[in-house]
Chains A and B, each alone.
Chain A
Amino acid sequence: MANTPKFPNPSFWKYKDHMDWSAQAKNLKEVAGICVDMAKEADWPAFGKHLLQGWKDFGNRAADEFNIVKAMSREEQIDLVLNGEKHLGRLYKAGSMATVRREWRGVRDTAYDFYEWGHNWVMLLTTFSKDLVPALNSMLYYRWMVSYFCCHSFMDKNVIGLRGRALRMHHELLFPVFRYVAENLVFLAKTDAKNGNCIDLNKKLVLIDEMTMGQIMAGFPDLLGIPHQLLPVFLVSELDQLTCVPYIDAVESYGLPSDTCPVPSSECGALVTDSLPHSGCCFISSSMPCDGSTMASSYYSRRFPDVPVFHLCFPVRYLDEETVQCGAEDIKACIKFVEEQTGAQWNWDAYFTAMTRFNKETDYELQKWEVNKTDYPQLIGPCYELYRKWNYEMDGGTDPRILKTCEKVNKLLMEAYQAKDEPWVGKMRHRAIVWSCPAHYYANFSNWAANCWGIDILVEMESLNFTKHLETSDKEEAMRDLARLYERMVMRRHTNGGYQNVVDELWKQCEDWRTDFVIMYQNVACKNMATLQGILDEQGRARNLHMIWIEHDLMDPRTVSRRTMRDKVSNYMQTVMQEQPVDASLVDFEDDVTW
């Protein structure tokens, strides 16, 4: 086994930028012009009134909260100080992007939460300072970059209502995802032809489709692999659901039907509006996970005709072992392509080292599942789900720092399990599974369902992927294993390859996790799932499962708002289950523009 190199390769930061300063000045002038126009067109008296009203609301809210606390009994006041607040709907204000304040979680947990808040800021500032000018300059080119300023709101909303070890585990899991995003944002800015224009780093940069798993880059430790659309489109939309709306509008104006999945639509819209960095020496596109995504690559080639593209395509009928070799051959062809474009050589030692790490990470994941299947589930909620997805799909064992996170989290997990902790203290009523294309990152749905109705979402479809250990010695079998892994990427594992993978599999998982609720996310544009709607419904009813169908349109909240999504659950709980909410303040609130 080769020595584990530092990650990311320190030399990547050191390559010299070649910014075209006159172009930057021209762009700055244009942006300044836009700002001046906006300032001229702004209704300043209305703005002033709005600001004043904001302060008044703040005063009224502070007075209300003071009175509420004052009206509490001594025991309730002590409980509030020690264990935090219980009416979380108060944090939201109609028409406001941010919550009115951060959550009070009790002295100890609030202090820890602030520590993590600071920890993240330090990491962000340190990372961005490694090449500050192009990183900040990105904001002058790309509107999505500005949305990253709400990353702390994203952190806050994803840990809402959590206490104790659960809060710690969630922060531990979210931090590496934030770090990954920060590092790659800087690299993208550094390499973008109209920004940092770092020629040397571009020679090392292989862009991959955001729907292609990152493991293939493990065999190229001297290269940098970045999922091209992940940061400008997919991930940022989870921070701010409104980010991709202009891209969707742009591509629909261009002619794309509005019935397509908003993920490839947003990607194509970003390409149509020239909103993706022009980076890298080549691009690995993909046929995954489904029909819509397959087609986005021709939009890439239209925008960046100078970047060579390899189309990594895997058989759809992946359970048919006869197809595996075709996938393995395509991976080999892809490796050859990367070698030709970059001059780098595939390194088996580096690959096997990373996959050994990935196998260990899979073991940690399975341990989490075992605990969550018990009567005392511990690690549930969106941070865990997001981490799992990122770790499986993007990191894939390439970053050696991640094992430490796994170790730390699983230690906390076992302590919490032995102590029979509750992630949302005193709230758990139902065990649920999320199926189909999940929208809970946009709507913060798992947290809301737990805090409002006591529905604990133990697992989601996208977490339940390939758990077989990847081959780490036989080279030919390693390629076949990698093909098997890629064929079972997030989403594709279930929505492709036959109805059994998503219908029969759901019933099996419901038994394994002993769930009584199925939160069935119905992405109105996902044809793979929509075409099984009747079968799922029929078979679910036959099994006496509570299936709550929740329509959504991923990053396009105009089709279905978050409030409408929540109403589906609330209506079901009130009318069918005849239950009262755990936290009535969360049953109905407006968050149309809230981060």
Chain B
Amino acid sequence: MKDLKHLIYFEGLLESANNELVQQAQKDGKLAMGYTCFHIPEPLLNVDNCFSVRLRAPNTGSIDIATYYMSNYTCEYARALTERAIEGGYQFLDAMIGVDACSMMNRAMEHFELLQVNSKPTFFVTHTDMPYKVTDYTLASYIKQMRLRVLDRMTEVYGVDTSDEAIRKAVKEHNEICKIISEIGEMRKADNPVITGYEFHILCLVTYCCPKYLIIDKLKETLEELKTRKPDEKPPFRARVAIVGSEIDDPGLTKLIEGCGALIVSDRFCFGSTPGREVFELSDDEDALTQVCRHYMQAAECARYISDEKVAQRRETSDRLAREYKADGIIYEQMKYCDYWGFERTLVAHVMTEDYGWPVLSVDRLYITQGSGQLRTRVQAFVESLEIKRIHKEEGKN
């Protein structure tokens, strides 16, 4: 296929957390609100003169200092963020909105505080408590946390307008981005899609890491370009896969998987589009904060949600996405040392095979995976097994 016009530009934006658009926004007088987790509703960090930056640590090399502080058998994403913070890579942030959803990420945020990694006098780190299940009282608690620990802090420190109107405006802008990404995402359902999983991942990532008002024009242009883009007559892919699991902010991973011949058609992981880039409309019957919080609780696919209905939802979502996007198999992945996804991946890999009949590749991986020969071998083997299955199916064998 012909290269997307802005792909190299988008890739360039992902080379640094403090990319040119982040710098541009700060020059425009905007405040950068760092966060890491879907549990923090993104529109809340985009109210008034704020913009959200979902933190990544691109081009991570040594994480020795973070390893000294956090030991070597903990989440590499958490350690890479801590390392980058110590190096001064997040000096641009005006606030860090932490979630106490998983212990390692929480500790990373605590190190931001303890090691005073940001010298801005008004910089603050806030910690929020996250629910484990969706009920009336957990929603009430979640709303209270977002109000008291996030929005009120932003108002107290920076005088940010966090009113109902401000939240509604942020949701509207959020939905504009989501509409574009969703429309592009739908294109992956085609038998011969006009976009690869890698390209889609890049587009998705820039929407999480850049100020939305500065990226939207190029996204619109890319959407129009895709509408007329001609796919290769004979695509290089030998199988279609859905990815399900924990955080992937490294486009190198999607490149690695697609380099093995597996076209990624569905992205059910943190920093992916499901959930995170679905459009949600607010009604006028209820305050905006309640609706936003409810939506994020209901849409969440995080393995931390313990209740039976959420466990079932995660399995159903994986199955539905794989079917809708015509995947041949599912790759369940987890960041190494992630407890939530470690337990979830292990069990659900069996469940999806035994109960839903999906071929599943179950892997754990490091934060930076591009050079992983071991992972490449496993994906190649999986692609071959999917091919064999398809051949058997075509020949009428089981």
A interface, CB within 8 angstroms of B: 251, 254-257, 259-261, 264, 268, 285, 287, 290-292, 294-299, 301-302, 309, 311, 313, 315-317, 320, 322-323, 325-326, 329-330, 333, 495-499, 524-525, 527-528, 530-535
Contacts and interface: CB of A to CB of B under 8 A. Distances in A.
Given A302-B351, A534-B69, A295 B130 contact: no
A287 B103 contact: no
Interface string B66-81: 0011110111001000
B133 interface: yes
Contacts of A330: 135, 137-138
Contact of A531 (B78, B141, B145, B340): B78
Contacts of B176: none
B381 interface: no
A260 B141 contact: no
B73 A530 contact: yes
B262 to A, nearest CB: 20
Contacts of B350: 254-255
Given A295-B340, A498-B110, A498-B127, A531 B102 contact: no
Given A259-B337, A323-B129, A326-B137, A292 B70 contact: no
Contacts, number: 156
B343 interface: yes
Given A255-B346, A313-B131, A534-B70, 19 more contacts: A254-B350, A257-B337, A260-B339, A285-B306, A295-B342, A298-B344, A311-B306, A322-B145, A323-B141, A323-B145, A326-B141, A495-B103, A496-B103, A499-B110, A531-B107, A532-B70, A532-B107, A534-B68, A535-B114
Contacts of A316: 100, 129-130
A256 B338 CA distance: 11
A294 B68 contact: no
Contacts of A296: 343
B102 A291 contact: yes
Interface in B110-140: 110-111, 114, 127-133, 135, 137-138, 140
B364 interface: yes
B204 interface: no
B129 A256 contact: no
Given A255-B350, A330-B137, A309 B308 contact: yes
B97 to A, nearest CB: 14
B311 interface: yes
A321 B103 CA distance: 20
A333 B127 CA distance: 27
Q: Which one of A261, A301, A325, A534 has the highest number of Cβ atoms from chain B below 10 Å of its Cβ? A: A534
A558 to B, nearest CB: 16
Interface of B: 68-71, 73-75, 78, 100, 102-104, 107-108, 110-111, 114, 127-133, 135, 137-138, 140-141, 144-145, 148-149, 303-304, 306-308, 311, 334, 336-337, 339-340, 342-347, 349-351, 362, 364
A527 B343 contact: no
Nearest to B79: A531
B145 A268 contact: no
A256 B342 contact: yes
Nearest to B78: A531
Contact of A257 (B78, B148, B306, B336): B336
A264 B343 contact: yes
A341 to B, nearest CB: 14
B74 A320 contact: no
Nearest to B114: A535
Nearest to B341: A295
B75 A535 contact: no
Nearest to A314: B132
Please provide the 10 A-B residue pairs with the shortest distance between their CB atoms, ordered closest to farther: A295-B343, A534-B69, A531-B107, A326-B141, A313-B132, A329-B137, A530-B71, A291-B339, A317-B129, A255-B346
Contact of A527 (B127, B133, B334, B337): B337
A104 B211 CA distance: 75
A292 B350 CA distance: 19
A193 B111 CA distance: 50
Given A311-B307, A326-B140, A527-B337, A260 B100 contact: no
Nearest to B339: A291
A531 B343 contact: no
A330 B306 CA distance: 13
A516 B142 CA distance: 43
Contacts of A313: 131-133, 138, 306
A301 B303 contact: no
Contacts of B129: 315-317, 320, 323
22 contacts: A255-B350, A256-B343, A287-B132, A291-B102, A294-B132, A294-B339, A295-B342, A299-B343, A313-B131, A326-B141, A333-B135, A496-B100, A496-B103, A498-B110, A528-B103, A530-B71, A530-B74, A531-B78, A531-B107, A532-B70, A534-B68, A534-B70
A581 B74 CA distance: 36
A259 B342 contact: yes
Given A298-B343, A299-B347, A499-B114, A311 B138 contact: no
B229 to A, nearest CB: 39
Contact of A294 (B135, B306, B362, B364): B306
B339 A292 contact: yes
A504 to B, nearest CB: 11
Contacts of B133: 311, 313
B344 A524 contact: no
Contacts of A333: 135, 137
* Most central of A290, A295, A299, A497 by chain B CB within 10 Å: A295
Nearest to A309: B308
A308 B235 CA distance: 49
Contact of B103 (A311, A322, A527): A527
Contact of B343 (A292, A309, A325): A292
B134 to A, nearest CB: 11
Nearest to B344: A295
Contact of B349 (A255, A285, A525): A255
Contacts of A535: 69, 111, 114
Nearest to B103: A528
Contact of A530 (B70, B131, B149): B70
Contacts of A302: 347, 351
Contacts of B110: 498-499
Contacts of B345: 255
A290 B306 CA distance: 12
A406 to B, nearest CB: 34
Given A291-B102, A315-B141, A533 B71 contact: yes
A311 B130 CA distance: 15
B69 A317 contact: no
Nearest to B362: A255
A200 B296 CA distance: 44
Given A254-B346, A295-B339, A326-B140, A311 B69 contact: no
B132 A531 contact: no
